[in-house]
Structure 1
Amino acid sequence: MKSTTRRTLAAVVTGVAAALGAAATPAAAAGAIPVPVPLDGAETALGMELPEVAGELPVLTPGAPEGPRYVEGRLLPERTLPQLPVSGGLPGVDVRQPLPHVLGDDFDHAAVDAPAAGLRALAPGLSLDAPLSAPDGEGAGLPTTKLPQAGVLAPVVQTVPTAGLGVGPGL
Structure 2
Amino acid sequence: MKSTTRGTLVAVITGAVAAAGAAATPAAAVGTVPVPVPLEGVSQSLGMEVPKAGLELPLLTPGTPDGPRYVTGHLLPDRTLPQVPVKGALPGAGLRAPLPQLLDDRFDHVGIDAPASDLRTLGPGMNVDAPLTQPDPRNFGLPDLKLPEAGVLAPALQTVAGANLSSGPGL
TM-score category (smaller protein): 0.7 to 0.9
CA offset at residue 12 of structure 1? 8.2
Question: Does the 8 A contact of 2:65 with 2:83 survive in 1?
Answer: yes
Total equivalences in the alignment: 167
Which residue matches 1:144? Answer: 144
Secondary structure, aligned partner of 1:80: coil
Using a 3 Å threshold, how does the CA distance of structure 1 residues 17 and 49 change in structure 2: closer, same or farther?
Answer: closer
CA offset at residue 116 of structure 1? 0.9
CA distance in 2, matches of 1:107, 1:14: 52
TM-score for the superposition, normalised by structure 2: 0.85
Instruction: Summarize deviations over 1:135-158 as a string: whole Å, max 9, x none.
Output: 132111221111111111111111
Task: Give the aligned residue type for 2:111.
Answer: A
Which residue matches 1:129? Answer: 129
Task: Give the aligned residue type for 2:137.
Answer: G
Question: Does the 8 A contact of 2:97 with 2:110 survive in 1?
Answer: yes
Secondary structure, aligned partner of 1:108: strand
Question: Does the 8 A contact of 1:107 with 1:167 survive in 2?
Answer: no
- Structure 1 window deviating more from structure 2 (98-107 vs 76-85): it is 98-107
- Structure 1 window deviating more from structure 2 (131-140 vs 58-67): it is 131-140
Name structure 2 gaps, 5 residues minimum: none
Question: Does the 8 A contact of 2:98 with 2:107 survive in 1?
Answer: no
Task: Give the aligned residue type for 1:160.
Answer: V
**1:117 aligns to 2:120 (yes or no):** no
1:1-171 residue pairs with structure 2 within 5 A?
A: 18-19=18-19, 21-102=21-102, 108-171=108-171
Name structure 1 gaps, 5 residues minimum: none
